[in-house]
Amino acid sequence: MSNTTQKDWTADSLAEAATTLAGTDGAQIVAWSLERFGPRTALACSFSLEDVALVHLASQSGLPFRVIALDTGRLHEETLQVAQRLQERYAITVEWYVPQQDELEALVREAGPFSFRSSLEARKQCCEVRKIRPLRRALAETPAWLTGLRRDQGQTRTKLPIIQRDESFGGIVKLNPLADWTDEHLAAFAEEHKLPRNSLYEDGFTSIGCAPCTRPTRPGEHPRAGRWWWEDPSHSECGLHQGRHHR
Ligand code: SF4
């Protein structure tokens, strides 16, 4: 099977791929993606359990892949420890991307280190500088990226497709191999393969993000209720995942 670029992907070919992938499991979707899009294919890793599962599946495929990660400057120590363990276990090099120095300096000088608490606009500006622009650089020259998003992670993700064009990042293909995984499926997979697990989960966190913007959730709360908890839940995305399914 030859590698393809995003230019080859029309609405029809996407629909055909979606039909091919329907009913296949996460491992098959990851392997199909790496075969189809080649070694520049990027796995976006925030070091959540989902993303660790994705790295495990890619590693099991035996095919080359990239792991990209965003060091926002505000990550928990525990998250960085998972990154280290992942590198050692799978013998991978995590491609870290950091904010542009001049943009970050301007942000914190003008708006302060907690600008994101003042308004939705300010929060989006922080995510733009610390996450979105670095991700844009990470995805340059990338035909496709894979995420660990799941449909049951929040009201913004209920219609998440397995494959889509990502217009936010130049129309490249985005795949969500774990889209239909449930909490139980993920937990069983992690247990079976003894996946490195972020210790924040033991502290009540149910989503992994920047330290000042993520809190543990209480029993009965939605898993993503701890992200930007001071905002309306319909805004609970940072801009990395703003495809059509979110509208
Ligand atoms: S999650 Fe919070 S700290 Fe991290 S980039 Fe977004 S606003 Fe900034």
Q: Answer yes or no: 238 catalytic.
A: yes
Identity of residue 149: L
DSSP reduced 3-state for 139? helix
Pairing of strands 42-44, 144-146: parallel
Q: Find the largest Cα–Cα distance for the chain.
A: 51
Atom of ligand 1 nearest to the CA of 227: 1
DSSP reduced 3-state for 202? helix
* Beta carbon of 212 within 6 Å of any ligand 1 atom: yes
**Chain length of the chain:** 247
State which of 70, 74, 117, 207 you would mutate to test the pocket of ligand 1, scoring each by most atoms of that ligand within 8 A of its C-beta. Answer: 74
For atom 3 of ligand 1, the residue with the nearest CA is 210
Q: Angle at Cα 146 formed by Cα 157 and Cα 137, nearest 5°?
A: 105
**Token code pair at residue 95:** 């491609």
As a whole number of angstroms, the distance between CA 184 and CA 169 comes to 32
Cα–chain center distance at 16: 24
As a whole number of angstroms, the distance between CA 246 and CA 238 comes to 12
Atom of ligand 1 nearest to the CA of 131: 5
pLDDT in tens, 189-233: 999 999 999 999 999 999 999 999 999 999 989 888 999 999 987
For atom 6 of ligand 1, the residue with the nearest CA is 127
pLDDT attached to residue 247: 23
Q: Angle at Cα 74 formed by Cα 133 and Cα 153, nearest 5°?
A: 75
**Token code pair at residue 228:** 């930007």
Atom of ligand 1 nearest to the CA of 130: 5
Given 127, 210, 213, 238, the catalytic residue? 238
Terminal-to-terminal C-alpha distance of the chain? 34
pLDDT attached to residue 2: 47
As a whole number of angstroms, the distance between CA 53 and CA 160 comes to 18
215 CA distance to ligand 1 centroid (A)? 13
pTM of the full structure: 0.90
98 CA distance to ligand 1 centroid (A)? 13
Block mean pLDDT (10 aa), the chain, length 247: 61 91 95 97 97 98 98 98 98 98 98 96 97 97 96 78 93 96 96 98 96 95 90 70 45
65 CA distance to ligand 1 centroid (A)? 27
* Beta carbon of 123 within 6 Å of any ligand 1 atom: yes
For atom 5 of ligand 1, the residue with the nearest CA is 127
* Beta carbon of 209 within 6 Å of any ligand 1 atom: yes
Class in CATH terms, 6-98+132-246: alpha beta
As a whole number of angstroms, the distance between CA 82 and CA 84 comes to 5
116 CA distance to ligand 1 centroid (A)? 7
